[in-house]
Structure 1
Amino acid sequence: MKTLLSVLMFVLASLACTCGRAADRGSADEAVALVKTVVADLRKHGREKIIQDVQNQAARYRDRDLYIVIGTLDGVSVANGSNPKLAGKNVIDIRDADGVFFMRERTALAKNKGAGWHRYRWLDPISKQMQKKSMYIERYEDLIVGCGIYIE
C-alpha cells in the first residue's frame, strides 16, 4: 500500500510540474494574437508610442515567455521586448545556434508574403537552453512585427 501511494504521489507531482511548465509558455495562437494587437495599435496610436511601449517592455506586449520584436525590412532592430539593447542595431547578419542567417529569412518572408511563421534556434529565457523557436511575423508598412514560441 505504501508503494502504491508513493507511486501515485510521484505521478501526481510529475503531472503538476508538467502543467506548471506548460502554463509558463505562450501558445502559437497567443503569439499571433499579440502580433495582431501590436499591428492594430501601430495603426491606431502611431509608431512612436507603440515602439516605445514595446522597447520599455510594457505589460500589454508581454505574456509569460511571449514578447514582441519590431524590426525594419533592411534588418535594423527597432524594439525588442526581451533585449532592449538591440534597438538601433543592424541585426541582418546575426546567425542562430545552427549558423542560419535567420534575420535574412525573416525579412525575406515579410517582403515576399507579408506574414507567416519561420523557425530558428534561440536561447529560451525560461530553460536557459538553446531551443527551437517558431516566430510569427507580420509586415506593417516598412516594419516587421514578430512574436515567437519555444518548441521543446
Structure 2
Amino acid sequence: MKQYFSIAASAACLALSMSASVAYAAADRGTEPEAQEMVKKAVALIKSAGPEKAYKVFTEHPDGAFKDRDLYVFVYDFDGNCLAQGANPKMIGKNLIALKDGDGNAFIKGEIDLVKKSGKGWYGPYKFTNPNSQGYELKKSYCERGAGDTMVCVGTYVK
C-alpha cells in the first residue's frame, strides 16, 4: 500500500509539474488580442508623436514600452524597407521585401499586400525566429496601415 501511494504521489507531482510548465510557456507568449492592442497603441503613438519619434520608441523600448514577452512592433514601408524593429534593430534600413521563410513564403511582401488591400488584418502563419526561444516557430502578424505608405505590425507565435 505504501509503495502504491508513493507511485501515485510521484505521478501527481509529475502531472502538476507538467501542467505548470505548460502554463508557464503559455504565459511567456503574447496573445492575438494583445498583439492587436499593441498595434493600435503603436499607430496612435505615430499619430501623436510623429513617425521618427515613434519608430525610435518601438526599437529601443524605453521603460519597457512596446516590448512584452515575445511581442514587439515592426514597421515597413510599402517598398519593403524596415523602418522600426523591436527585436532586431540591425534590420532597420534594409529592404526585406524578398525575405522568405523556410517554406519560401515572402512574408514581408504578403503583409504589405494585405495592408495595401484591406488596411489591416492578420497575415500568416509563416515561420520566423522567436527572439525569446531562438527557435524557428510558426508566427502570424496583425498589421495596420501606419503613416503614409507604411505598415505597423506585431506578431504572435502560434501555440
Partner of 1:129: 135
Alignment counterpart, residue 101 of structure 2, candidates 71, 76, 96: 96
Partner of 1:116: 121
Partner of 2:20: 16
Rounded to whole Å, the distance in 1 between the matches of 2:142 and 2:68 is 15
Instruction: Give per-residue Cα distances to partners, 1:49-76, cap 9 Å, x unaligned.
Output: 1111112133111100100001101110
Instruction: Give per-residue Cα distances to partners, 1:83-130, cap 9 Å, x unaligned.
Output: 100101100010011111111111111111110111111112233322
Q: Quote the RMSD (CA, aligned, Å).
A: 1.0
4+ residue runs of structure 1 moved beyond 2 angstroms? 125-129
Confirm or deny that 1:150 pairs with 2:157: yes
Partner of 1:87: 92
User: How far has the Cα of 1:147 moved from its partner?
Assistant: 0.3
Q: Which segments of 5 or more consecutive residues in structure 1 lack a partner in the other structure? A: none
Rounded to whole Å, the distance in 1 between the matches of 2:140 and 2:108 is 13
Alignment counterpart, residue 40 of structure 1, candidates 40, 44, 65: 44
The question of whether the paired residues in 1 share the 8 Å contact of 2:74 and 2:154 is answered with yes
- Over the matched positions of the two proteins, sequence identity in percent amounts to 35
Rounded to whole Å, the distance in 1 between the matches of 2:69 and 2:129 is 15
Aligned length: 152
Rounded to whole Å, the distance in 2 between the matches of 1:125 and 1:56 is 15
Partner of 2:76: 71
Rounded to whole Å, the distance in 2 between the matches of 1:53 and 1:126 is 20
The residue type paired with residue 39 of structure 1 is V
The residue type paired with residue 72 of structure 2 is Y
The TM-score with structure 1 as length reference comes to 0.96
The residue type paired with residue 18 of structure 2 is S
The TM-score with structure 2 as length reference comes to 0.92
The question of whether the paired residues in 1 share the 8 Å contact of 2:122 and 2:140 is answered with yes
Q: Which segments of 5 or more consecutive residues in structure 2 lack a partner in the other structure? A: none
The question of whether the paired residues in 2 share the 8 Å contact of 1:97 and 1:130 is answered with no
User: How far has the Cα of 1:45 moved from its partner?
Assistant: 1.0
